Amino acid sequence: MPVDDILLEAEDKMQKAVEHLRAGMRTLRTGRASAGLVEHLRVDYYGSPTELRQLATITVPDPLLLVIKPYDPGSVNDIAKSIQASDLGITPAVDGKVIRLQVPPLSEDRRQQLVQQVKDQSEETKVALRNIRRDSIKHIDAEEKDKALSEDAAHKAREQATDLVHTYEKQVDEALKHKTDEIMEV
């Protein structure tokens, strides 16, 4: 396998790991209303589990309020049940054809717990990035052993793999800082 392919595959995997982290962070409740809190919730819609974002328009009219307007008014109660059954800790207020979610402010203890949770997720992502680098270096070593790569080319490829990890670790750190600031904002 050519070195470029090994590095491209590693970069693709690292990018997906960082995107997975960001997607996970979007679903965390931060004391501020965000469509990301509920858009991936599964609703039992006519016997089929369907993501909420496919069933309704989700708007944020003010920082502490989410308004969910289903495309099918008959699904309002199913959506409300799914929200109540979720681990959001928010009780939906059904108002005719729309559902309102009042996001309560977080306590200081809960903020600290969320920050720790985000830090843990970030560290897990960094470990995944390092594992991807390790696997890439194993491939590079195998290519070098099979004489498909010169010693200099293999050394350069290892350095490129390490540079990739540093680049994506910076992205993880930026996402962590952004989310921590968002959580701690009162």
CATH code at 59? 3.30.1360.40
H-type helices in the chain, by residue range?
A: 3-26, 52-55, 76-85, 108-145, 151-184
Number of domains the chain contains: 2
Confidence of residue 53 (pLDDT cuts 50, 70, 90): confident
Which of the two residues, 103 and 70, has the higher pLDDT score?
70
- Residue 186 pLDDT greater than 90, yes or no: no
What's the average model confidence in pLDDT over 108-112? 85
- Do 121 and 161 share a structural domain? yes
- Percent of the chain exceeding pLDDT 70 equals 98
- Residue 134 pLDDT greater than 80, yes or no: yes
> Which residues 6+ apart lie within 8 Å of 96 measured at CB?
none
Query: How much is the mean pLDDT over the chain?
Result: 88
CATH of the domain at 160: 1.10.132.20
* pTM tops 0.75: no
- Residue 29 pLDDT greater than 70, yes or no: no
DSSP state of 106: P
- Do 46 and 71 share a structural domain? yes
- Residue 31 pLDDT greater than 80, yes or no: no
* Enclosing domain of residue 116: 3-26+107-184
Contact 122, 21 (CB under 8 A): yes
